């Protein structure tokens, strides 16, 4: 299996985030996550790790707005330019919003205002290398998509994009939940030239950004299994009643699950989701995987075991579709690598 990975992710390494209740804590979405996954994959005899190719900005512009991309590209420089001679200038270790946009019909001119316009929460601090890391992450996803679309091998192709930062909370022009560019959506949009695409999101948190991007479309089926937003991030999206709009009505499905969901309950719900994928008959499948479904994850409240994760991978692989697997969340670094390998082994 081809694994696409870029060391550029290390350029996005904020010193802290502001967590629930206003606590300042070390950034959980850390470079160590990738180190643990790579260590586990290098122990296998089937992982072929290689850098992504650069697809340029056009595939990213097909998903994210020009204004949003311009903000991500210039935010750090604009932030440094604010009072550069003041004593506080040396303390500018990250850009975070001063306010959040209650309405979005007027984009502010000041950089702190722009940050509140484009950043959903305090888990997406911008540092000098954030945009470069996000672009490299998107290129990993696009490389995986290209591999499954253009593979010349006789066996059913699959590929894994070891993406960091993750992407599924990023909407068309908003960042949130550690996500800046929606890697899965960018890969799916690129694949639509070959036919219909299904996106299956099995991260612990709802894929609200992916939902936002494809909500009114019928050529991309989006499905998300996740913790019920009644008690879990992102709170405002991910409900079962959200099923698409306009031409996309009926082409988005949320499966919110209660705290304490175990292997049996999760797999039963997954069967329902996979039935919808089969009915859609896509040419290609994108799977957003989040290992925060694991029972020991600090940001999750499910009780999924490693064997459960292995079975999730086995059941998805049984769809027999060309599949690009995109890394999303997962913050128990002790178990993260082995959990990812357990799922991926089904696709090798």
Write the DSSP string, 267-301. HHHHHHHHHHHHHH--SEEEEEE-GGGBTT-TT--
Q: Which of helix, strand or coil describes residue 199?
A: strand
Q: Is 169 a catalytic residue?
A: yes
**What would the two tokens of residue 103 be?**
């309405």
**What would the two tokens of residue 238 be?**
């991910």
Write the DSSP string, 87-146. GGGGG---B--SS--S--SS--SSHHHHHHHHB-STT--B-TTHHHHHHHHHHHHHHHHH
| Chain position carrying tokens 């009915």 | 279
Length of the chain, in residues: 348
Q: Which of helix, strand or coil describes residue 218?
A: coil
Among 169, 205, 253, 284, which one carries the catalytic annotation? 169
The answer to whether 29 and 299 have CB atoms below 8 angstroms apart is no
Biggest CA-to-CA distance, the chain: 63
**What would the two tokens of residue 250 be?**
């009926």
Cβ-based neighbours of 265, under 8 Å, separated by 6 or more? 257
Where is 34: in which H helix or E strand? helix 32-41
Cβ-based neighbours of 156, under 8 Å, separated by 6 or more? 320, 321, 322, 323
Residue numbers annotated as active site: 169
């Amino acid at each position: 299996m081809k694994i696409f990975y870029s060391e550029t992710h290390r350029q996005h390494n904020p010193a802290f985030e502001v967590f629930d209740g206003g606590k300042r804590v070390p950034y959980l979405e850390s470079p160590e996550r990738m180190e643990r996954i790579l260590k586990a994959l290098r122990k296998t005899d089937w992982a072929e790790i290689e850098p992504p190719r650069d697809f340029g900005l056009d595939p990213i512009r097909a998903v994210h707005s020009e204004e949003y991309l311009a903000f991500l590209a210039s935010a750090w420089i604009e932030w440094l330019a604010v009072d550069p001679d003041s004593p506080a200038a040396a303390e500018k270790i990250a850009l975070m919003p001063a306010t959040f946009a209650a309405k979005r019909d007027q984009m502010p001119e000041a950089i702190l205002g722009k940050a509140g316009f484009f950043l959903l929460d305090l888990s997406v601090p911008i540092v000098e290398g954030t945009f470069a890391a996000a672009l490299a992450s998107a290129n990993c996803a696009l490389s995986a998509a290209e591999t499954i679309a253009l593979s010349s091998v006789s066996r059913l192709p699959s590929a894994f994009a070891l993406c960091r930062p993750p992407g599924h909370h990023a909407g068309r022009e908003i960042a949130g939940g550690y996500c800046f560019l929606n890697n899965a959506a960018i890969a799916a949009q690129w694949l639509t030239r070959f036919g219909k695409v299904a996106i299956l999101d099995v991260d612990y948190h709802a894929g609200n950004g992916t939902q936002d991007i494809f909500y009114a479309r019928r050529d991309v089926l989006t499905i998300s299994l996740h913790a019920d937003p009644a008690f879990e991030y992102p709170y405002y999206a991910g409900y079962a009643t959200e099923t698409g709009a306009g031409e996309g009505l009926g082409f988005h499905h949320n499966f919110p699950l209660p705290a304490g969901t175990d292997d049996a309950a999760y797999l039963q719900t997954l069967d329902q989701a996979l039935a919808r994928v089969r009915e859609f008959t896509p040419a290609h499948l994108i799977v957003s995987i989040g290992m925060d479904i694991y029972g020991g994850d600090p940001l999750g409240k499910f009780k999924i075991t490693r064997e459960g994760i292995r079975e999730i991978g086995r059941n998805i692989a049984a769809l027999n579709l060309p599949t690009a697997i995109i890394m999303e969340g997962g913050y128990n670094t002790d178990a993260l690598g082995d959990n990812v390998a357990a799922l991926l082994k089904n696709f090798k």
